[in-house]
Amino acid sequence: MSTRFLLTTVAAACALALPAMAQSRPVTLSTTLKNYGGDGAYLAVYLTDAKGAYVRTLWVAGGKAKYYKHLADWNRLSAGDAKRLNGVTGASVGAGRTLKVTAELADALIDAGYEIRIDAAAEDMRDSPAEIRVPLTATGAGKPQAGKQYIQSFTYQLQ
């Protein structure tokens, strides 16, 4: 077998395999808040790997960066990520309201030990780091998860 034939075969195999590994899909994240009786909540929705290390920010609700310190786990884990907020921010979420956003996630992240996490905080109220921690699995899609303090329910849908 010639080296040229072997290199051509390897190149063809990589060309076919890489698109399959890089495929992603939209994931719709829906977070409904409790009627907790306070101002709008700041929420940081982010992804961590199997070891709990920060991967990326999926969405941040709340536009004033001076309050991000109250989203303690997310702020600590993502601090070195200069692109963490690029195109993933919006207004805070009022009590009893629902935040619904869509993010693109690689198929390889599903059922691979990754977690969707949400930190929450509201002005003049207690901060709630790790309000939600949900494994990113195909079987968990569409199943509501209750939060600890501010979040009534959180679901994600794989599309």
Closest CA to 119 of 59, 63, 65: 59
Q: Which domains does the chain have, with CATH numbers?
A: 23-158 (2.60.40)
28: region left, alpha or beta (phi > 0 left; psi from -120 to 50 alpha): beta
pLDDT in tens, 99-153: 999 999 999 999 999 999 999 999 999 999 999 999 999 999 999 999 999 999 9
9 DSSP assignment: H
pLDDT in tens, 54-88: 999 999 999 888 899 999 999 999 987 867 887 78
Contact 81, 56 (CB under 8 A): yes
Give the global pTM: 0.83
40 DSSP assignment: P
